[in-house]
Structure 1
């Protein structure tokens, strides 16, 4: 489908190269898998969501809790979700600079490590 849409734009006289250059440059980390206990993975995500709602991370613009936690920071986002098929939590980060993506990654991992270190009830 995408190829046909691009072909249509060329046919209509659009300059694809200038359109592509106008797109924002974003930096995305690869998917990072965190091994966790199968029985705990959904509970860990739930605890993470609660901490975000309490303001545990600075600069959060919004939180989407569909299938995990997608945190929007305005200049980037972070995702933490439980794998449905294996004993992992999956994370991914995207921002307007590589430095910011790494900063978001550090913030999320610090909070997650704090949650994971807490005594189990």
Structure 2
């Protein structure tokens, strides 16, 4: 298993760009199916709020550039616009980032409960 987290947030991207790569509820099923079928990830979770879009994946044989290319295609955003704002965490760094996000330490308002408080 190879864990990967790819995303943008309020620190790395403008509101305009965050809106372009958000996953509205009506597109989540299609996105998760495409991730599984087109990139061959073993499992994935998409986290999408007004301040962040993140994809957490068990990548198997898939590399991060394939996932980034899929994100660019899915949202039809120019790669040169999206790639400078992306962050990528692998293995334990991905888990550490997820823990910081889930408890509100990586939020616009420190400690806000939006991720787990829904």
Q: TM-score range by the shorter chain?
A: 0.3 to 0.5
Greater C-alpha Rg: 1
Q: What is the TM-score normalised by the length of structure 2?
A: 0.37
Tell me which of the two structures has the higher relative contact order, counting C-alpha pairs closer than 8 angstroms and 6 or more residues apart. Answer: 2
